[in-house]
Amino acid sequence: MKSILKLTLILLVFTLLLISCTNKDITAPKGSNVLKASASNPDIYPIWAGQNINAGTMAIWNDSINIFVQFNLIDGWMLEQTHVQLDTDLTEDEWIHASGTPVPGQFDYIMDFNPMVTTYTQVIPLSAYGYAYGDTIIIAAHASVKKYDSQTGGYQQETAWGGDEEGPGSRWWFYMHYIITPPDQQPPDDDDEYQYETAMMRMYDDPADFTYRWFVKPGKPHAWFGYVKTTPVMTPQTYYFYAGQYYKAGEVNIWKAGDSLFVQCNMMNDWEATGSHLNVQLTDYMGSPAFGNFPYTATFDPAVNMFTYNVPWNPAWDGMELKICLHADAQKEIIPD
């Protein structure tokens, strides 16, 4: 009887472990935060020293003015120097070679410590890069760290990187993805949970469609913000609306009727819009994606699953290819399993 009971308990434990493994969301994009990171609830990433030594953690959060990148070392490790770089991709720049190898000495933010410290917070103004709420950015955080060795009376010195994603190139390094979130976005109540994402219109029905990307500066495209190019006609032309880059949140119809340009967004898959911004121009998009400066805006309270812009037609648009950018603050109720 005891053998049967023991076998039953073993099978039960194995079953529970199997269920917990199969329930892991291995397809969720990294950095896709449902809740806002804050000083009291930051995003946490490991710090790796000498490639495979867990030397501490990185804490990342933002408010309405700054991004905070905090190094926290453990087990006797201390900071001698830190380097922090923000960007929207890993294409060649001053701080990273074309091969993917980073150059910490060229990072935008460098700090030396004498005496050494175990914790340090790098404060970076959002305005320094022109980032906006909903932007997905890359954070590279490097450090020179030391640990006192009582046996030798000297210090063990290592290179350290924060992050959960292995960087490209011939040398080991790590980095992080982070989504800049509005500071007034509060964690949802237990009985009314929502996933909040930035949504953008794109040309094709594909999460990896970057046909027309918004360039923050020449040669530096935004991680995923885009727009469509179209010459409107009376027959509606269909484009696609994606939230948080990866989630299909709706379809957008664009057409011209009389003296008006119509842009109609139909949300789907239980997504809703709480606000929206629209811009129409003849040139490609360059500079900071400041949606609050778009000429056509709307706020929806309560949230809606369909909205339409009626924009007065500009004679300069006659027969021209328009560059149309549609943004929305999207939400989706999280249904408990």
User: Cα separation of 258 and 300, whole Å?
Assistant: 27
Residues 159 and 53 reside in one and the same domain? yes
Residues 136 and 202 reside in one and the same domain? no
Q: For residue 31, is pLDDT > 60?
A: no
In this predicted model, what pLDDT tens digit does every residue of 197-235 receive, in sequence order?
889 999 999 877 878 888 766 766 666 778 999 999 999
Looking at the 3D structure of the chain, how many domains does it have? 2
What average pLDDT is seen over the chain? 82
Residues 172 and 293 reside in one and the same domain? no
CB 288 within 8 A of CB 280: no
- Band the pLDDT of 21: cuts 50, 70, 90: very low
Helix/strand/coil for 12: helix
CA dist 67 → 62, 113, 186, 208, 331 (Å): 4, 21, 18, 27, 23
Q: Say which residue, 334 or 313, is predicted with more confidence.
A: 313
User: Cα separation of 218 and 67, whole Å?
Assistant: 24
Q: For residue 168, is pLDDT > 70?
A: yes
Residues 253 and 317 reside in one and the same domain? yes
Identify the pLDDT of residue 288: 65
The verdict on whether omega for the bond into residue 115 sits within 30 degrees of 0, i.e. cis, is: yes
Residues 203 and 306 reside in one and the same domain? yes
CB 108 within 8 A of CB 138: no
**Which CATH number is 84's domain given?**
2.60.40
Q: For residue 42, is pLDDT > 50?
A: yes
Residues 256 and 321 reside in one and the same domain? yes
Q: Which two tokens stand for residue 44?
A: 């946490």
What mean pLDDT do residues 266-272 have? Answer: 93
Residues 226 and 293 reside in one and the same domain? yes
Residues 238 and 268 reside in one and the same domain? yes
Identify the pLDDT of residue 230: 96
Q: For residue 50, is pLDDT > 60?
A: yes
Residues 120 and 168 reside in one and the same domain? yes
Dihedral (CA of 123, 128, 133, 136) sign: negative
Residue 203 lies in domain: 194-333
Residue 186 covered by a domain: no
Residues 223 and 322 reside in one and the same domain? yes
Find tokens 């027309």 and name the residue: 212
> Minimal CA–CA distance to 285: which of 226, 199, 211, 202?
226
Q: Which two tokens stand for residue 270?
A: 């239980």
Residues 208 and 247 reside in one and the same domain? yes
What mean pLDDT do residues 78-100 have? Answer: 92
* The one-letter amino acid at 123: V
Residues 240 and 326 reside in one and the same domain? yes
Torsion of CA 169, 67, 57, 39, to 10 degrees: -160
Q: For residue 122, is pLDDT > 60?
A: yes
Identify the pLDDT of residue 203: 94
In this predicted model, what pLDDT tens digit does every residue of 169-184 receive, in sequence order?
889 999 999 988 876 5
